[in-house]
């Protein structure tokens, strides 16, 4: 019924794709009904398509993003699968490190071209599922590959058969499906794949790829552009089970997210996404948008997703990957839930629900905000201060609009606009005004520096504790580890391990220039009454001391300490590091968070 139409000339659908004009949309007014599956999920291409439009991620960055994907997946795996390139040593190292984490979700899969050399990589890496590039439009078959439909179908089926023979689940990526001859190539090819599935007993997954973003969500539009008809036809005529069907879109015509939702609604179980929608050219369907869309369709009782992770991901992209998220980008832009209209600001102050899409503070850990302009007024200034400054410093008492400092800030704002200003007052300017008129509310530069220094020190301490040698409580095994860190970080004045009796079991581990000063430092001192020892024992958590001047070196120091706990949750002792504050503060700006354990 559906036989390959091995045409001699390419079918380019020039009435739909005139090239010198905007692509056309046609309708046949043949409607199909939605068929939302009972279970749908999200797949991810951040490490594949997501790396094709930005500088490649470092291995440690891939691992951190994979951790975020796992955290966002929830216990049931809303983000079910992610895919990796396998070509470079770095790609394969990233796969190994992510697999070593032992997460159930997202499942790690590969991506290869449809050739046998690429397939060797999948077997070598022992990947259980891989995507295989199988272009289906004549634009690709004739104009790019310079082959006939029969030739490419034969080569595709050969590589899929090789995967099945190796016990690997193939995921065929039907590239450029929205410009393909559906019943002349796509359906005949897919039916051949389903026949291979029946013969092998191994499921073959189908990813429908809207490579150029031509898809539309209208059920009465014609093939090959109608997403509902594509999904319906693959299920009805291609005999592909919904749970083996996946949609992959691009945003060239601003339709990527709505097309993904349409794929779900018309029977596709999986939609492929990337973090922040980063991908080739205009990008892919944003993963965070798909998460919110899923919750709008099914609620959160089943998946138990922690949506605040979305905000953590955005902060990581901006702070660690130096990726500038547009201010008005939904869910993640710094102004996405900020209103600038004075009348709206007044409404927010009276009731947050009036101008908030949902409780962003609860679901995204993002406080509803207002921008400051000429008609803002003292109430909005108070709201801004309570939101931006007091909450971040965990102050309990809010500032009332009648505070005299707010009146002075309002006077400054009014003068700005009387003098001809036309732009909004930035958050940085507001902070400066609060520093001038309400200095007691603003975190000092020293406070910020100390917070960063403390985080650095605790991160290094955590990293040391992860070394298995520490739990042995054997000085012979512990001391080389401590010495390696002491040599690496010049700001470490003194490092030591104490047993539960308060006795130091390690020798004097310090910087070379201080070794003589520590020669007379007693080895048999009892540290059991020291706060840096007692607190980790009591709380089973790390402890940071107050500043003090070292009696031995005269340096301004603070101590970080933490309990050493074995696999049975038994406390074995305490590890401590005396940190020279000024030494660490001098180098703190050079460290990124992922380099010290956060």
Query: What's the pLDDT tens digit per position in 174-207?
Result: 999 999 999 999 999 999 999 999 999 999 999 9
State both tokens at 59.
Answer: 């291995």
* Amino acid 226: pLDDT: 98
* Amino acid 170: pLDDT: 97
Closest listed residue to residue 304, CA positions, set 121, 583, 105, 515:
105
The CA-CA-CA angle for residues 568, 571, 574, to 5°, reads: 140
What distance lies between CA 114 and its chain's CA centroid?
Answer: 29
Place of tokens 């580890």: 481
List helix spans (H) across 248-321: 256-265, 287-298, 308-319
Backbone angles phi, psi at 205, to 5 degrees: -90, 150
Question: Which residues of the chain fall below pLDDT 70?
Answer: 340-349, 390-398, 443-444, 519-520, 522, 589-598
Sign of CA dihedral 70, 71, 72, 73: positive
pTM score of the predicted model? 0.72
Closest listed residue to residue 48, CA positions, set 356, 278, 367:
278
Query: Tens digit of pLDDT for each residue in 225-269?
Result: 999 999 999 999 999 999 999 999 999 999 999 999 999 999 999
* Amino acid 384: pLDDT: 83
* Amino acid 340: pLDDT: 63
Half-sphere exposure for 164 (CA within 13 Å, toward CB): 20
The number of residues in the chain equals 598
Place of tokens 């005529």: 237
Whether the ω angle into residue 595 lies within 30 degrees of 0, i.e. cis, is: no
Sequence-distant (≥ 6) Cβ neighbours of residue 20 within 8 angstroms = none
Cβ pair 571, 565 in contact under 8 A? yes
Sequence-distant (≥ 6) Cβ neighbours of residue 125 within 8 angstroms = 86, 92, 95, 110
* Amino acid 513: pLDDT: 86
Sign of CA dihedral 12, 16, 18, 21: negative
**Residue 81: strand pairing partners:** 43, 107
The CA-CA-CA angle for residues 283, 216, 46, to 5°, reads: 25
Residue 572, classed as helix, strand or coil, is: strand
Q: How far apart are CA 568 and CA 589, in angstroms?
A: 38
Cβ pair 531, 537 in contact under 8 A? no
Q: How far apart are CA 134 and CA 60, in angstroms?
A: 31
DSSP-derived secondary structure for 49-115 = GGGSSSPPPPHHHHHHHHHHHHHHHTTTTSEEEEEE--SSHHHHHHHHHHHHTT-SSSEEEEEEESS
* Amino acid 155: pLDDT: 95
Q: How far apart are CA 112 and CA 364, in angstroms?
A: 36
Place of tokens 């603070």: 558
3-state SS string over 459-471? HHHHHHHCCHHHH
What distance lies between CA 94 and its chain's CA centroid?
Answer: 15
Half-sphere exposure for 570 (CA within 13 Å, toward CB): 7
Q: How far apart are CA 57 and CA 489, in angstroms?
A: 26
Backbone angles phi, psi at 116, to 5 degrees: -70, -30
The neighbour count for residue 129, using CB atoms within 10 Å, is 18
Q: How far apart are CA 232 and CA 520, in angstroms?
A: 81
């Amino acid at each position: 019924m559906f036989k390959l139409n091995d045409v001699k000339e390419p079918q380019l659908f020039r009435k739909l794709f005139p090239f010198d004009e905007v692509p056309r949309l046609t309708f046949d007014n043949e409607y199909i009904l939605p068929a939302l599956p009972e279970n749908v999920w999200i797949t991810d291409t951040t490490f594949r398509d997501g790396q094709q439009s930005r500088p490649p991620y470092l291995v440690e960055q891939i691992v951190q993003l994979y951790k975020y994907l796992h955290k966002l997946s929830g216990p049931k795996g809303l983000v079910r699968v992610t895919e990796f390139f396998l070509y470079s040593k770095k790609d394969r190292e990233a796969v190994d490190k992510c697999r070593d984490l032992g997460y159930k979700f997202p499942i790690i899969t590969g991506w290869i071209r449809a050739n046998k050399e690429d397939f060797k990589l999948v077997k070598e890496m022992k990947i259980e599922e891989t995507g295989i590039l199988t272009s289906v439009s004549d634009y690709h078959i004739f104009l790019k590959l310079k082959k006939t439909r029969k030739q490419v179908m034969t080569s595709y089926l050969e590589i899929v058969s090789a995967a099945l023979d190796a016990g690997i689940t193939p995921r065929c990526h039907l590239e450029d499906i929205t410009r393909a001859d559906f019943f002349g190539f796509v359906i005949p090819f897919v039916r051949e794949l389903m026949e291979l599935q029946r013969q092998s007993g191994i499921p073959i997954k189908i990813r429908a790829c809207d490579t150029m973003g031509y898809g539309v969500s209208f059920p009465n539009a014609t093939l090959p552009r109608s997403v509902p008809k594509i999904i319906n036809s693959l299920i009805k005529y291609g005999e592909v089970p919904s749970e083996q069907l996946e949609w992959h879109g691009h945003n060239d015509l601003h339709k990527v997210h709505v097309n993904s939702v349409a794929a779900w609604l018309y029977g596709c179980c999986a939609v492929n996404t990337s973090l922040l929608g980063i991908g080739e050219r205009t990008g892919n369907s944003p993963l965070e948008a798909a998460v919110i869309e899923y919750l709008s369709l099914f609620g959160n009782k089943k998946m138990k997703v922690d949506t605040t992770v979305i905000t953590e991901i955005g902060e990581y992209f901006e702070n660690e990957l130096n990726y500038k998220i547009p201010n008005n980008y939904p869910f993640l832009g710094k102004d996405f839930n900020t209103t600038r209209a004075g009348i709206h600001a007044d409404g927010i102050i009276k009731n947050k629900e009036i101008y908030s899409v949902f409780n962003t503070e609860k679901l995204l850990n993002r406080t509803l905000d207002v921008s400051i302009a000429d008609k803002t007024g003292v109430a909005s200034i108070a709201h801004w201060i309570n939101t931006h400054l007091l909450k971040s410093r965990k102050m309990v008492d809010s500032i009332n609009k009648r505070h005299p400092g707010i009146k002075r800030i309002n006077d400054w704002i009014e003068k700005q606009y009387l003098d001809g200003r036309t732009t909004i007052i930035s958050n940085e300017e507001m902070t400066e005004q609060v520093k001038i008129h309400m200095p007691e509310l603003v975190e000092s530069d020293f406070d910020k520096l100390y917070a960063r220094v403390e985080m650095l020190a605790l991160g290094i301490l955590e990293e040391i504790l992860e070394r298995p040698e520490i739990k042995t409580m054997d000085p012979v095994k512990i001391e080389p580890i401590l010495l390696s860190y002491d040599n690496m970080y010049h700001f470490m004045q003194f490092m030591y391990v104490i047993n539960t009796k308060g006795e130091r079991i390690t020798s004097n581990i310090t910087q070379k220039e201080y070794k003589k000063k520590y020669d007379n430092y007693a080895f048999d001192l009892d540290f059991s009454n020291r706060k840096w020892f007692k607190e980790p024992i009591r709380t089973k958590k790390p402890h940071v001391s107050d500043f003090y001047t070292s009696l031995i070196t005269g340096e301004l120091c603070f101590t970080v300490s933490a309990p050493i706990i074995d696999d049975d949750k038994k406390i074995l002792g305490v590890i401590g590091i005396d940190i020279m504050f000024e030494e660490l503060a001098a180098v703190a700006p050079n460290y990124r968070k992922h380099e010290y354990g956060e």
